[in-house]
Amino acid sequence: MNSMLAVFRFEMNRILTPGRAFWWVVVAAFPVVIMLLMTNYIQFPPGARVTQQNISTMFTIALYFVAPTISCMLGGLLIAAPAVASELEQHSWVYLAVRPNGLFYLILGKYLVAVVWAASATLVGVTAAVAVADAENQIAAATAMEEQPSVAAHEQQSSRQRDQPYTNATGTLPGIVRSSEVLVAMAGLATLSACSYSALYIMLGTVFHRRAMVLCVAYTAGVELFLGFFPAVINRFTIQYRLRTLLFDWTTQSEQFRQSRVLEFVASDESVFAQIMWLISCIAVFLAITLVSVQVREFTSASETDV
């Protein structure tokens, strides 16, 4: 444990550079920018009748897609994918390989760094994005300005507005209702997503270390983002499918969305416990493959010797 924490601390210090800090800010800012754009620039066709709950569902799904999905993927790609390749490229690998279980601790330490980096950026981004898209506050503020109602009256009005058709008007679009519920759900999803994708990328980056980044991006695009949304059995084998199921379990969707057949294809009807166990199993398998790979394979090449 001491050795793993030593690698973690060392690697955290190494990534605290202006360049890496910039990317952390970019990843954290990504969901905020998307929420701001949605709040200010989405316009429905004139006369369209959309309930506020529908809008909230749309905002929640969009936030899930940009934060626990894209942000965590980016974080994992930046830190976990090149974990082994970077050590091999700069020939620092051997110094760790000649330590007792040095490679074991290197992998686990770097994995922890990737999780912390991706999860922290995503959590900050999600918190700020939810604040931006917090419809309750926007409605309350608007109502207070109009008629200064009592607290009870405000609750009643907010509740009514959630269920009543929302006709688009000019100005800011109300975003997420039940923001605290969404925030808690997103925090949980971000943590699970960071753990899962970091494990996936560190495995791919170790097994295919010569083309680590290219392969991880290709896998993400082809499997997680394409097959993961493909309405067939194949999507059940993706991290995306499990996270999405948790999203629909942990957040409230509009009645219209619930009644549509979309959920049948893109989410599982198994329990939350099953989804979490599935993700934990994936993480364990990915890390096990990575650790076995660094123990079994030879990473010293002829170019590192004088032959």
Q: What is the DSSP string of 94-105?
A: HHHHTSTTHHHH
Q: Phi and psi (nearest 5°) for 78? A: -75, -35
In this complex, which beta carbon is closest to other proteins, that of residue 96 or of residue 124? 96
Cβ at position 14, least distance to other proteins in Å: 6
**Cα–Cα distance, 291 to 109 (Å, whole number):** 12
Decide: 128 and 32 in contact? Cβ < 8 Å: yes
Closest to 276 in 3D by CA, of 232, 243, 303, 304: 243
Of 30, 64, 93, 241, the one binding other proteins (CB under 8 A) is 93
Single out the residue of 41, 45, 47, 98 in contact with other proteins (rule: CB under 8 A).
98
What ranges make up the beta strands (E) of 189-261?
none
Hey, is 42 helix, strand or coil?
Answer: coil
State yes or no: residue 96 binds other proteins (CB under 8 A).
Answer: yes
Q: How far is the CB of 150 from other proteins (least distance, A)?
A: 59
Q: Is 298 in the site for other proteins (CB under 8 A)?
A: yes
Span near other proteins by CB under 8 A; candidates 13-21, 51-59, 144-152, 184-192: 13-21
Please give the backbone phi and psi of residue 134, each rounded to the nearest 5 degrees, phi first. -75, 100
305 binds other proteins (CB under 8 A): yes
Which range of residues in 38-46, 217-225, 266-274, 295-303 is near other proteins by CB under 8 A?
295-303
Residues 177/135, Cβ–Cβ less than 8 Å: yes
Q: What is the distance between the alpha carbons of residues 113 and 202, in angstroms, rounded to a whole number? A: 11
Residue 177, SS3 per DSSP: coil
Is 14 a binder of other proteins (CB under 8 A)? Answer: yes
**In the complex, what is the shortest distance from the CB of residue 121 to other proteins, in angstroms, rounded to a whole number?**
21
- What is the spatial distance between Cα 229 and Cα 212, in angstroms, rounded to a whole number? 24
* 292 is a site residue for other proteins (CB under 8 A): no
- Residue from the set 48, 94, 144, 274 that interacts with other proteins by CB under 8 A: 94
In the numeric block, which tokens belong to residue 259? 């009644």
Which of 25, 48, 91, 281 is close enough to bind other proteins by CB under 8 A? 91
| Residue nearer to other proteins on the CB measure, 159 or 300 | 300
Any residues with CB less than 8 A from the CB of 267 and at least 6 apart, and which? 241, 244, 245, 247, 248
User: Rounded to whole angstroms, how far apart are CA atoms 202 and 115?
Assistant: 11
Pick the closer one to other proteins by CB: 16 or 277: 16
- Write the interaction track for other proteins spanning residues 46-85; mark x where CB under 8 A is met and - where it is not: ----------------------------------------
22 near other proteins, rule: CB under 8 A: no
Q: How far separated are the first and last CA of the chain, in Å rounded?
A: 38
**102 is a contact residue toward other proteins (CB under 8 A):** yes
Note the residues at the interface with other proteins (CB under 8 A).
2-3, 6-7, 10, 13-14, 17, 90-102, 105, 295, 298-302, 304-307
